[in-house]
Amino acid sequence: MGNIDKTADGFFPEQRHVPASATETHMAGPLQGVKIIEMAGLGPAPFACMLLADLGAEVICIDRPMSKKASPEENHTNILRRGKKSIVIDMKRPAAVQTVLSLIAGADVLIEGFRPGVMERLGLGPEICMAQNPALVFGRMTGWGQNGPLSQAAGHDINYIALSGALHAVGTAEQPIVPLNLVGDFGGGAMLLVAGVLSALIHARSTGRGQVVDAAMTDGSALLMSMMYGFMASGQWKDQRASNMLDGGAHFYGTYQCSDGKWVAIGSIEPQFYALLIEKSGLKGVDMTAQRNPATWPEMKSRLAEVFATRTQSQWCLLMEGTDICFAPVLGMKEAADHPHNIARQTFCEVDGVLQPSPAPRFSHTASEILHPPVQTGTHTIEVLGKLGLSEAEINALGG
């Protein structure tokens, strides 16, 4: 992780307070005092709850009983579970629903990522939960949304962003390219869920009235396309991949391969930045007034490709990195952690030997931190349910 001095326990200064014990009660971050109940699931809902835990919320994840306990290796690399408490409740047990309602009575937020209707069938729909706690924020994370013709269909990130127009806009002229599951699951899904939950929480604290947050990845990924839809409405965007300034069509906004097989990224949109690109690249006879003329883009892209192929990535970094060209090397995940800028910003950290992104964004007075590494399923069952007044026999009867 570079040359930054670490503390004796192996963490960077801002991460050194990550406690070794999963039962540590120390809290940090702007969401101190906020309690969130998470119904265990996959993908965007757990990521949203991880973000909220990083920000200081107490997140209690209700896990299902597992037929096979996860190995320590499987457990501590599950980054989306960092900072959370874990309890196990078998929702098929007679007292399960009432136990969860008792937890909800003392919580600020409930987050679930099931198909529409599942929580209602469990006896934990919004009406029942909010009768128990009128100020509860009930966060619901789905792909298609709580209603609509596709609401009960199975799907994944790729399907949701296909329906919103986002997938069509990403890729080569010949075909769409899968942009990982960043656009649907984590951007249009989890990030919008967090924004909705926090907005509803502010409203609940000022009015005493909770509400349901219906976060759908189709809606969220469509919202992320707002600027492009605006460009299209004004005639500045073609509904055709690789033909626009920001989708790889322009020669001054894209990636180029270097002589060592590595890549660099160029984003020289503004005229002064473009002029610097042309100067540093050594291209001659370039009509600077034709930068925004799409008819010139294919030829200019070929010329730049030839130039970038003459040097290694590190050589181009020496020439261009840190200038106003708007330049960066295209780094692998491990390389990113070792880049001097990311080291200086402590953008990545190691927790329990696992390299991972640090909490973000940064706060001037309530610094976020990772409370503890991911814990084994059920680690906090006795602690959390014991606070509700349940005996050991009653806890065992819940399947925990």
Per-residue pLDDT tens digits for 279-319 = 999 999 999 999 999 999 999 999 999 999 999 999 999 99
Whether residues 387 and 364 share a domain: the answer is: yes
User: Could you tell me if 43 and 113 are in contact, meaning their C-beta atoms sit under 8 angstroms apart?
Assistant: yes
Q: What does the DSSP 8-state code read for residue 350?
A: E
Q: How many domains does the chain have?
A: 2
Annotated catalytic residue: which of 63, 185, 219, 247? 185
- Could you tell me if residue 79 is inside a domain? yes
Question: Is position 156 annotated as part of the catalytic site?
Answer: yes
Whether residues 47 and 129 share a domain: the answer is: yes
Q: What is the pLDDT of residue 386?
A: 96
Question: Is position 185 annotated as part of the catalytic site?
Answer: yes
> Residue 258 sits in a domain of what CATH number?
3.30.1540.10
Whether residues 137 and 260 share a domain: the answer is: no
Whether residues 122 and 204 share a domain: the answer is: yes
- Could you tell me if residue 132 is inside a domain? yes
User: Could you tell me if 225 and 166 are in contact, meaning their C-beta atoms sit under 8 angstroms apart?
Assistant: yes
pLDDT in tens, 199-236: 999 999 999 999 999 999 999 999 999 999 999 999 99
- Could you tell me if residue 151 is inside a domain? yes
Whether residues 331 and 366 share a domain: the answer is: no
> Residue 21 sits in a domain of what CATH number?
3.40.50.10540
Whether residues 303 and 278 share a domain: the answer is: yes
Whether residues 49 and 169 share a domain: the answer is: yes
Distance, in Å, from the CA atom of 371 to the CA atom of 52, rounded to the nearest integer, reads 11
Scored b (16 or more CB within 10 A) or e, 179-206 reads bebebbbbbbbbbbbbebbbebbeebee
Whether residues 80 and 112 share a domain: the answer is: yes
Whether residues 267 and 217 share a domain: the answer is: no
- Could you tell me if residue 94 is inside a domain? yes
Whether residues 261 and 378 share a domain: the answer is: no
Q: What is the pLDDT of residue 75?
A: 75
Q: What does the DSSP 8-state code read for residue 69?
A: P
Whether residues 331 and 364 share a domain: the answer is: no
Q: What is the pLDDT of residue 2?
A: 36
Whether residues 37 and 126 share a domain: the answer is: yes
Q: Residue 216 is encoded by which pair of tokens? A: 């759908």
Query: Which among 264, 250, 257 has a CA at the least distance from the CA of 321?
Result: 264
- Could you tell me if residue 235 is inside a domain? no
One pLDDT digit (tens) per residue for the chain, 400 residues:
333 333 333 333 443 334 334 444 445 899 999 999 999 998 899 999 999 999 999 999 999 998 666 666 667 899 999 999 999 999 999 999 999 999 999 999 999 999 999 999 999 999 999 999 999 999 999 999 999 999 999 999 999 999 999 999 999 999 999 999 999 999 999 999 999 999 999 999 999 999 999 999 999 999 999 999 999 999 999 999 999 999 999 999 999 999 999 999 999 999 999 999 999 999 999 999 999 999 999 999 999 999 999 999 999 999 999 999 999 999 999 999 999 999 999 999 999 899 999 999 999 999 999 999 999 999 999 999 999 999 999 999 998 7
Q: What is the pLDDT of residue 14?
A: 42
Identify the bridge partners of residue 61 per DSSP, sorted by sequence position.
38, 86
- Could you tell me if residue 6 is inside a domain? no
- Final residue of a domain: which of 341, 368, 385? 341
- Could you tell me if residue 232 is inside a domain? no
Cα dist from 315 to 208, 263, 276, 308, whole Å: 60, 12, 17, 10
User: Could you tell me if 210 and 37 are in contact, meaning their C-beta atoms sit under 8 angstroms apart?
Assistant: no
- Could you tell me if residue 1 is inside a domain? no
Domain coverage including residue 298: 253-341
